[in-house]
Chains A and B, each alone.
Chain A
Amino acid sequence: MTAHILDAIGGVPRPTTDTVVEATEVEKWFGKLHVLKGVSLTVRRREVVVIIGASGSGKTTFIRCINHLEKIQKGRIFVNGHLIGYREESGKLVEDKERNIAKQRQEIGMVFQRFNLFPHMTVLDNITEAPVKVRGVSKDEAVTTARALLARVGLSMKESAYPAQLSGGQQQRVAIARALAMKPALMLFDEPTSALDPEMIGEVLDVMKELALEGMTMIVVSHEMGFAREVADRVVMMDDGRIIEEGTPDHFFTAPTHERTKAFLSKIL
């Protein structure tokens, strides 16, 4: 990959603010289960934040709140200066209209653990669907962009394949291209390599590293500490619905302070 991935979408999409994500005191319950207990996180433009933490600590739930796939009960999440999912009406949060939420999500790309490609569409259609139907881009332009993206993630020859005909690693690279085609200001990754066979993890991480180096703002839930060490600006440790430790990758490798962090890292490193 010599050319930059983001060149395919005209360079790094410019967030309108310097702070891309601002989450303050986010709380979330699933029924009686208190899953997020006041999570605050600020992510600045071009920053790459890796979230780690034990199973059930709320990592997935938190990043799903950022594009309002989950409702929150307390706190605020701003992306690009826009309050996500809600309107404030006399100090109270009221869930926003579906149309507005959909619009906010256009700026936020998401990559799932299980890829979630559309199985009834070819690779090319998977990538052009949203730009055409949601952004209203012309089909020709969408196809040109999609082909450029596919070239950059090394899957040009697969454009007319169906997802079921691809390996996991290839599917995940298509999923990344699909999200990028919307020219998002922020990319969220939820354990993008944990459903992959070991020999395919590298090809996906390479694409993500590339993106990070090109200046994409990213929040990545992942236990790939090699990836964190190489590209993360910051690592965030979640435990039981809270952020208990935050710092550079170096800090986590050399001098984690929290007992829980030490215990967790000793298991995954």
Chain B
Amino acid sequence: MDLLPFLATTNTSFQFDVDWFIHFIFPPSPVLLGGLAITIYVSIIAQAAGVLLGVLSALAGMSRNRVLRSISGVYVWVFRGTPLLVQLFIVYFGTPYLLGGIDLFPNHVGLFGIDIRGAILAGIVAFSVNEGAYMSEIVRAGILSIDPGQTEAAKSLGMTYRLTMSRIVLPQALRVIVPPLGNEFNNMLKTTSLLSVIAVGELFRVAQAANSASFKTFEAYFGVALYYLALTTIWSAIQGVIERRLGVSQAGAQGASFWSRMFGFARRTTGTAEVEVPSSGGH
């Protein structure tokens, strides 16, 4: 049977419009650049806030205080157990109902003297809180990976809980926390595309708009896909540098090289392995 005529009838004679595509991606239009900027800054702010929330939640979850432990437990349970998109809608569309008509996220919000769109702010809030729940587990695992002897030594020198955490435990836990944290940020860069559903002009929304204006469906979405890929690739390189600085073990699965992280295989190492200095000194 000849399938080709059948395919031809459903396909509206697709032709990849190279000119349009190249113009779309390079040089990027101000709109595309604006979308890129939103994607990047929302990701960075939400990730930073998520790390902070995650540290607080992890510490609360490991505290001796039952109330704090419960709060942390419920927080992680709820925000990891429900879809982020639903959380975003609750934050953006739902809170005015909860607050009796007070819209926390109007069109313009003045924050620290900067004018931000309410929808972007809602996105930052939702992504931060959601990310905090995941970071909580990551930070907790990091803290638990540190030998209790470290805490005991710190305590026996007269250090308070705060000092022990900030000077002894967390700096060491960082080496365990950073690799999964990097993956979280990689996800965050892509997750911000959800903002398109509340009409924020981030990268993906720009592609949607370009598509509806030109019907260059494949070109537009493929174009922003390349932008996302560029972002995550650059981030992987940065992550590699950070991990090397921290001396995350090269041998461990966590300290994967740029190459293995990107393509799933390790580059052949030549010469001697770098001697990493601050390594865990347990015996």
Binding site for B on A (CB under 8 A): 67, 69, 98-99, 102-103, 105-106, 108-110, 112, 114-120, 129-130, 133-135, 162-165, 168, 171, 175, 178-179, 182, 195
User: How near does chain A come to B145, taking the closest CB pair, in angstroms?
Assistant: 13
Please give, as numbers and ranges, the residues of chain A lying within 8 Å of B157 by CB-CB distance. Answer: 105-106, 129-130, 134, 178-179, 182
Given contacts A67-B156, A129-B167, contact A164 B280 (CB under 8 A): yes
Please give, as numbers and ranges, the residues of chain A lying within 8 Å of B241 by CB-CB distance. Answer: none
Tell me which of A98, A108, A118, A168 contacts B153 (CB under 8 A).
Answer: A118
Q: Are B152 and A119 in contact (CB under 8 A)?
A: no
Q: How many residues of B contact A (CB 8 A)?
A: 25
Please give, as numbers and ranges, the residues of chain A lying within 8 Å of B159 by CB-CB distance. Answer: 102, 130, 133-134
Q: Are A162 and B281 in contact (CB under 8 A)?
A: yes
**Closest A residue to B175 using CB positions:** A120
**Closest B residue to A134 using CB positions:** B158
Asked if B80 CB lies within 8 Å of chain A CBs, one says no
Given contacts A164-B281, A195-B283, contact A98 B161 (CB under 8 A): yes
User: How near does chain A come to B87, taking the closest CB pair, in angstroms?
Assistant: 36
Please give, as numbers and ranges, the residues of chain B lying within 8 Å of A182 by CB-CB distance. Answer: 157-158
> Which has the most chain A C-beta neighbours within 10 Å: B156, B161, B172, B278?
B156
Given contacts A119-B279, A164-B279, contact A114 B149 (CB under 8 A): yes
Asked if B277 CB lies within 8 Å of chain A CBs, one says yes
Tell me which of B153, B161, B168 contacts A112 (CB under 8 A).
Answer: B153
Q: Give the docked Cα–Cα distance between A112 and B154 (Å).
A: 12
Tell me which of B149, B153, B167 contacts A133 (CB under 8 A).
Answer: B167
Q: Give the docked Cα–Cα distance between A135 and B147 (Å).
A: 25
Please give, as numbers and ranges, the residues of chain A lying within 8 Å of B280 by CB-CB distance. Answer: 119, 164
Q: Are A163 and B158 in contact (CB under 8 A)?
A: no
Give 15 CB contacts A-B under 8 Å.
A67-B156, A69-B152, A98-B160, A99-B160, A102-B160, A105-B155, A105-B157, A109-B156, A114-B283, A119-B278, A120-B172, A162-B279, A164-B280, A165-B277, A171-B281
Asked if B282 CB lies within 8 Å of chain A CBs, one says yes
Please give, as numbers and ranges, the residues of chain B lying within 8 Å of A120 by CB-CB distance. Answer: 171-172, 278
Q: Give the docked Cα–Cα distance between A98 and B154 (Å).
A: 13
**Closest B residue to A165 using CB positions:** B277
Q: Give the docked Cα–Cα distance between A42 and B161 (Å).
A: 30
> Which has the most chain B C-beta neighbours within 10 Å: A98, A118, A129, A135?
A118
Please give, as numbers and ranges, the residues of chain B lying within 8 Å of A69 by CB-CB distance. Answer: 152, 155-156
Asked if B86 CB lies within 8 Å of chain A CBs, one says no
Q: Give the docked Cα–Cα distance between A90 and B158 (Å).
A: 28
Q: Are B150 and A130 in contact (CB under 8 A)?
A: no
**Closest B residue to A105 using CB positions:** B158
Asked if B98 CB lies within 8 Å of chain A CBs, one says no
Asked if B163 CB lies within 8 Å of chain A CBs, one says yes
Q: Give the docked Cα–Cα distance between A69 and B157 (Å).
A: 11
User: How near does chain A come to B274, taking the closest CB pair, in angstroms?
Assistant: 14
User: How near does chain A come to B245, taking the closest CB pair, in angstroms?
Assistant: 13
User: How near does chain A come to B200, taking the closest CB pair, in angstroms?
Assistant: 41
Please give, as numbers and ranges, the residues of chain B lying within 8 Å of A114 by CB-CB distance. Answer: 149, 282-283
**Closest A residue to B156 using CB positions:** A110
Please give, as numbers and ranges, the residues of chain A lying within 8 Å of B282 by CB-CB distance. Answer: 114, 119
Please give, as numbers and ranges, the residues of chain B lying within 8 Å of A130 by CB-CB distance. Answer: 157-159
User: How near does chain B come to A201, taking the closest CB pair, in angstroms?
Assistant: 15
**Closest B residue to A126 using CB positions:** B153
Q: Give the docked Cα–Cα distance between A167 and B171 (Å).
A: 23
Please give, as numbers and ranges, the residues of chain A lying within 8 Å of B167 by CB-CB distance. Answer: 129, 133
> What 5 pairs across the A-B complex have the smallest Cβ distances?
A106-B158, A116-B153, A119-B281, A130-B157, A110-B156
